[in-house]
Amino acid sequence: MTAGQDPAITRLRAHEMAAGLREGRFTALALLEAHLELIRDENRVLHAWSSVDEDGARQAAVAADRQLSKEGGRAIQGPAALPPLLGIPVALKDLVVTRGQPSTAGSRILKGFLSPYDAHIAERLREAGAVVVGKTNMDEFAMGSSTEHSAWGPTANPWALDRVPGGSSGGSAAAVAAFHVPLAIGTDTGGSIRQPAALTGTVGMKPTYGRVSRYGIIAFASSLDQVGPFGRDVRDAAMLLGVVAGRDEHDSTSAPMQVPDYAAELPADDDEAAASVKGLRLGLPREYFVPGMEPGVEARIREAVGALEAAGAEIVELSLPHSEYGLATYYIIAPAEASANLARYDGIRYGQSVRGEDVLGNYLATRGSGFGAEVKRRVMLGTYALSAGYYDAYYLKAQKVRTLLKRDFDLAFKQVDALIAPTSPTVAFPLGARLADPVAMYLSDVCTLPVNMAGLPGISVPCGLSEGLPVGLQFIGRAWDESRLFGLGRAYEAITASAEWRSLEPTDLPALSDPSAPAPAERLAAARA
Amino acid sequence: MTAPVASPSATGRYEAVIGIEIHVQLRTRSKMFCGCSTDFQAAPPNSHTCPICLGMPGTLPVANRLAVEHVLATGLALEAEIVPVTRWDRKNYFYPDLPKGYQISQYDLPLTQNGRLTFDTSEGPFTVGIRRAHLEEDTARLLHMTGDSGDRASLVDFNRSGVALMEIVTEPDLRTAEQARRYAEELRLLLLTIGASEAALESGQMRVEANISLRPIGAQAFGTRVEVKNMNSFRSVERAIGHEIERQAGVLSNGGDVIQETRGWDENRAATYTMRLKEDSQDYRYFPEPDLPPLKADPAWLDEIRARQPELPAARRARYRAELGLSAYDANVIVGDLKATRVFEGALAAESALPAKRVANWVTGEYLRLAKGSDAIDALEPAELGRLLRLVDEGTLSGTSAKEVFARIFAGERTAAVVEELGLAQISDGGALETAVDEVLAANPAAVEDIRAGKAQAIGFLVGQVMKQTRGRANAAMVRELIRSRLDAAPPAATAPRRPKGTPEASG
Ligand SMILES: [Zn+2]
């Protein structure tokens, strides 16, 4: 360890780091270097990162320190005037483009691609003073629930290195869980933030569709994709969403709505937070306790429901009758949109280019070698669903079912203020366990993807362990009701503040810096052999 | 291979069924879905591009409101239904000129549908049904070249990529090549009038495609359809369609089958050729564009567009004939040329007392002669033409002088200044004219004798001599009157040259 760096500062929450920076307890550069050191020592075994921009991050940290010391000199003005994330390290999923930096979306076809422009949220983060450390590993084009479908190899789960961190934002989730950064950006198309948050014991929120600009987010399924935050507690996630949310003229689907100061709305006091659930009506949808759900997961969810009830919430069992069609319709609509979104990767303007005999030959060679098996599977599914003669039976039908799924939620929210459900029916599964069976993999998202289909916000917060692995509790809200979800998450944190599992760090953290520990790709190869 | 040529009698056995699809680039400063400038005609390749129109990862479209407005205005002008809420669709196909691998277009819910357009033909007025008009984005341009070493390469210029395009599709109502040409001409005039497009065929701002099939006269069922492209002028539209009708008639009358295909028009060979067979046609897998919200044409917006709409060509022609008394010919010629319309309207507006017919004569005559038949740059201020014609009307300027002045005001000068500079004000002053007439009579005794002997046409000669002497500035009617009165009033023997009075007169 380099002298002068305190590893404990990486254990702080982002809002605690912000306070420490303002009080001059450490500098942004020291904070960054402590994180960079962990990344350097541990990324071989964790493989959460696909690229790290040390120079860019240092420049941002130095600039933050300059601003901190300048503002510090005018102490009376107070720290409130400083941008909210000043000096805080943040990771971006490898599909958020940043000018001059690699953004591969986990795909060989974007190897070497340097974006000529910044994503809207990258600009917002910079304006907020954030120190963008680099890009995190992900399933190729966000298609997957384990991060095993990355062209650059899988990511390990810090709680058990032979297990997946979930996906597709598995790199962001693992990086936050392993203290490589306090905050990370992910995207969620069918559960890609909430499921890895659940599997790594972190907080992850998928906001309402349209809450965060998608401009500069490499698209998977445009009507479902949404950007959201990872943090180690609810307040941190709220702080990050507050920075990136809001209308962007470059995204016609982003909503022209006021963005509340999510973090500031949260009660600092645990008692006050716990009391806030009193009188709230929380719906417990029957269908989300699916067959195949692990008993340990169900037990943790029932306990969490009990704890909220004990704190004064009213629990209402209800039905979302079309939930069982969620998975099937999702796997029509998402691949259909993806088949068009991925058509631009033709090897002509950027990314990987493989020459063939003629124009068609170029396409076949470039796309044939540039895309992985799961991407090809979904492009074929989507192309099929949109083809003449099949469109009505598949795509159009799926859109109708989507309307029914939405209506289920609309009816539920006439009775209750929010829904409470498991995030994932299982804890983190072993590397390789579901690779051979796509449908088993798809089932990972059965509790999350209806929320994307309805465009609603959902948050996953840790609710204990099953077999030593994290379980995630999901709150689902009305459109634009992120504040309530953060409030519920914060209340649940307060209610369970003294629970033993809250004090635990991921089990396998010590092994991350072990030179003899295998890399995730080696573990996966061994598991498949 | 030469196409079998149909005898006139073969062509006569069939009826042609023609539908036209026209793509026009809309007149917008920026492209359809990004901020790139559309002013790239003289720009180097790929200089008017951005991540959006290059289809970079993560980019999203934002619809150009003015482009939508142009389509709505076109729909209103075509008496079409405006669909209050429509959407965008993705048309999927792979080609190097299509950076996203799909074109954002409108599939089953076009902005406007079920309109019509009436135009004149040599056989009288004809109305064609307009099936739809919708918005989409243009593709890039491909340039094929051969390198020094003989290898072939295709270069892509994305300057045109993402330019706003409107596609207008007729019903298969047209029956002759002439109708097709006239439709295209009238549509262009309409688009120019409402300012939706520059619509120049030569530069590709307006692209005409025709679907042509033949059926025996009296038959209801449609024959096999052939699509004809690459018609780069109105003349080639008519020629290509005429040729294709003959070609199909030849095939059918020889017992053959027309093949469903796309044919290109080769202007030099004056023939169509096979570009693509139907078997190559693709499934475009249209589906709603998720990156753009539905397109709403709310009534207030439509009212706004309607209120801004200028007088349309058909209404203008009718008004010129009914209210201004113009002939059908003059009304057509003036309305058919936007600049002529502007000059006509401007001249009349400046001098409302002028007879419209006289103004029309000048516009269809002198103005269009200079505007179309010469290299002179048209800088005419229409009000100046009005002022010029008033001077003629008042007798201040002779017809001959007026033409001389017009050439100068056409180049941007002011009527009053030119008349002043050239000293062209017509001599209507009695004294000055009398002097000139007397001199001419004295100098031409033979002609005077002829007139006295009853040869009235000799008066014309004398008038001409006076005009010559005054360099065209004399008021011809007054001169004629003066000559008559002089010859009636005095016997020839008594006629003697008078001394010129002290009238200031330009000499030499
Ligand atoms: Zn552009």
| Cα B37 to middle of ligand 1, angstroms | 8
Edge to edge, what strands does the sheet with B14-25 contain? B81-82, B112-121, B124-137, B164-170, B14-25, B206-216, B226-231, B261-266, B271-277
Compute the average pLDDT of residues A239-257.
Answer: 97
Residues of chain A found within 8 Å of residue B155, distances taken between Cβ atoms: none
- Min distance A286 CA to chain B CA atoms (Å): 31
* Summary mean pLDDT of chain A: 95
Residue A479 has pLDDT above 70, yes or no: yes
Residues of chain A found within 8 Å of residue B154, distances taken between Cβ atoms: 359
Q: What is the reported pLDDT for B461? A: 86
Instruction: Tell me how many residue pairs between chain A and chain B have CB atoms under 8 A apart.
Output: 104
Residue in B30, B60, B142 to test binding to A, most A beta-carbons within 10 Å: B60
Cα B349 vs. chain centroid, distance in angstroms? 22
ipTM > 0.90 (yes/no):
yes
A69: its two tokens: 């010391």
Residues of chain A found within 8 Å of residue B102, distances taken between Cβ atoms: 340, 343
Query: Is A340 within 8 Å of B156 when comparing Cβ atoms?
Result: no
The band of B99, judged by pLDDT with boundaries at 50, 70 and 90, is very high
Per-residue pLDDT reduced to its tens digit, A445-456: 999 999 999 999
- Min distance A396 CA to chain B CA atoms (Å): 9
Residues of chain B found within 8 Å of residue A363, distances taken between Cβ atoms: 94
Identify the closest residue of chain A to B99 by CA–CA distance: A344
Question: Contact, B334 vs B341, CB < 8 A?
Answer: yes
A195: its two tokens: 């499921």
B44: its two tokens: 């180097």
Residues of chain A found within 8 Å of residue B290, distances taken between Cβ atoms: 221-223, 253, 337
Compute the average pLDDT of residues B94-110.
Answer: 96
| Cα A247 to middle of ligand 1, angstroms | 21
Residue B292 forms contact with A (CB below 8 Å): yes
Q: What is the reported pLDDT for B341? A: 96
Residue A57 has pLDDT above 50, yes or no: yes
Compute the average pLDDT of residues A267-281.
Answer: 96
Q: Which of A13, A152, A147, A37 is nearest to A85 (CA)?
A: A13
Question: Which residues of chain A approach chain B closer than 8 Å at the C-beta?
Answer: 95-97, 103, 105, 110, 113, 115-117, 119, 214-219, 221-223, 249-253, 336-337, 339-340, 342-344, 346, 348-350, 359, 363, 383, 386-388, 391, 395
Backbone φ and ψ of A474, nearest 5°:
-110, 130
Compute the average pLDDT of residues B88-94.
Answer: 97
Q: What is the reported pLDDT for A527? A: 94
Domains of chain A (ranges; CATH) run 7-327+396-528 (3.90.1300.10)
Residue B287 forms contact with A (CB below 8 Å): yes
Residue in A103, A108, A117 to test binding to B, most B beta-carbons within 10 Å: A117
Amino acid at A451: V
The band of B374, judged by pLDDT with boundaries at 50, 70 and 90, is confident
Amino acid at A459: I
Identify the closest residue of chain A to B35 by CA–CA distance: A250
Residues of chain B found within 8 Å of residue A214, distances taken between Cβ atoms: 58, 60
| Cα A436 to middle of ligand 1, angstroms | 43
Q: Which of A427, A219, A223, A452 is nearest to A326 (CA)?
A: A452
Residue A434 has pLDDT above 50, yes or no: yes
Residues of chain B found within 8 Å of residue A96, distances taken between Cβ atoms: 58
Angle among Cα A407, A410, A414 to the nearest 5 degrees reads: 140
Residue B447 has pLDDT above 90, yes or no: no
Write down the number of H helices and E strands in chain A.
18, 11
The band of B398, judged by pLDDT with boundaries at 50, 70 and 90, is confident
Q: What is the reported pLDDT for A236? A: 98
Q: What is the reported pLDDT for A253? A: 98
DSSP-derived 3-state class of residue B427? strand
Residue B282 has pLDDT above 90, yes or no: no
Amino acid at B203: S
If contacts are CB pairs under 8 Å, which of residues 62-81 in chain B contact chain A? Answer: 62-63
Percent of chain B residues past pLDDT 70, beyond the cut: 92
Residue in A349, A350, A383 to test binding to B, most B beta-carbons within 10 Å: A349
Per-residue pLDDT reduced to its tens digit, A364-410: 999 999 999 999 999 999 999 999 999 999 999 999 999 999 999 99
The band of B439, judged by pLDDT with boundaries at 50, 70 and 90, is confident
Residues of chain B found within 8 Å of residue A227, distances taken between Cβ atoms: none
The band of B426, judged by pLDDT with boundaries at 50, 70 and 90, is low
The band of B467, judged by pLDDT with boundaries at 50, 70 and 90, is confident
Tell me which H or E stretch contains B167.
strand B164-170
Residue B95 forms contact with A (CB below 8 Å): yes
Q: Which of B107, B74, B81 is nearest to B195 (CA)?
A: B74
Percent of chain A residues past pLDDT 90, beyond the cut: 92
Query: Is B62 within 8 Å of A250 when comparing Cβ atoms?
Result: yes
Which residue ranges make up each domain of chain B?
8-296, 311-422, 430-494
Query: Is B58 within 8 Å of A346 when comparing Cβ atoms?
Result: no
What are the residues facing B156 on neighbouring strands?
Answer: B142
Query: Is A218 within 8 Å of B57 when comparing Cβ atoms?
Result: yes
Question: Contact, B498 vs B435, CB < 8 A?
Answer: yes
**Cα separation of the two ends of chain B:** 72
Tracing tokens 């005898």 back to the chain, one arrives at B7
Query: Is A95 within 8 Å of B99 when comparing Cβ atoms?
Result: no
Choose between B202 and A54: higher pLDDT: A54
Per-residue pLDDT reduced to its tens digit, A14-36: 999 999 999 999 999 999 999 99
B322: its two tokens: 């009914």
The count of other CB atoms within 10 Å of the CB of residue B270 is 11
| From A184-188, B112-116, B394-398, the region with the lowest mean pLDDT | B394-398
Q: What is the reported pLDDT for B449? A: 85
Choose among A97, A222, A349: nearest Cβ to B99.
A349
Residue in B53, B56, B295 to test binding to A, most A beta-carbons within 10 Å: B56
Residue B155 forms contact with A (CB below 8 Å): no
Residues of chain B found within 8 Å of residue A120, distances taken between Cβ atoms: none
Residue B1 has pLDDT above 60, yes or no: no
Residue B223 forms contact with A (CB below 8 Å): no
* Summary mean pLDDT of chain B: 89
Query: What does the DSSP assignment read for A141-193?
Result: GG--SSSTT-TT----BTTBTTB---SSSHHHHHHHHTTS-SEEEEEESSSTT
Query: What does the DSSP assignment read for B36-103?
Result: -BS--TTSPTT-S--TTTTT-TT------HHHHHHHHHHHHHTTPEEPSEE--EEEE---TT-TTSEE
Residues A334, A337, A339, A342: is their CA dihedral positive or negative?
A: negative
- Return the CATH fold of B430-494: Arc Repressor Mutant, subunit A (1.10.10)
Going from the C-alpha of A426 to that of each of A148, A290, B432, B456, the distances in angstroms are 17, 10, 114, 118
B287: its two tokens: 């589906």
Per-residue pLDDT reduced to its tens digit, B8-46: 556 789 999 999 999 999 999 999 999 999 999 899 999
Residue B294 has pLDDT above 70, yes or no: yes
Rounded-to-integer distance, Cα B14 and Cα B85, Å? 42
Residue B375 has pLDDT above 60, yes or no: yes
Surrounding residues of ion ligand 1, Cβ less than 5 A? B 34, 36, 50, 52-53
Rounded-to-integer distance, Cα A171 and Cα A191, Å? 14
| Cα B100 to middle of ligand 1, angstroms | 13
Identify the closest residue of chain A to B57 by CA–CA distance: A218
Query: What does the DSSP assignment read for A58-99?
Result: HHHHHHHHHHHHHHHHTGGG-GGGS-TTTT-EEEEETTB--B
- Min distance A181 CA to chain B CA atoms (Å): 24
Q: What is the reported pLDDT for A76? A: 45
Rounded-to-integer distance, Cα A416 and Cα A405, Å? 17
Catalytic residue positions of A? 93, 168, 192
Choose among B51, B94, B290: nearest Cβ to A222.
B290
Residue B502 has pLDDT above 50, yes or no: no
- Min distance A219 CA to chain B CA atoms (Å): 6
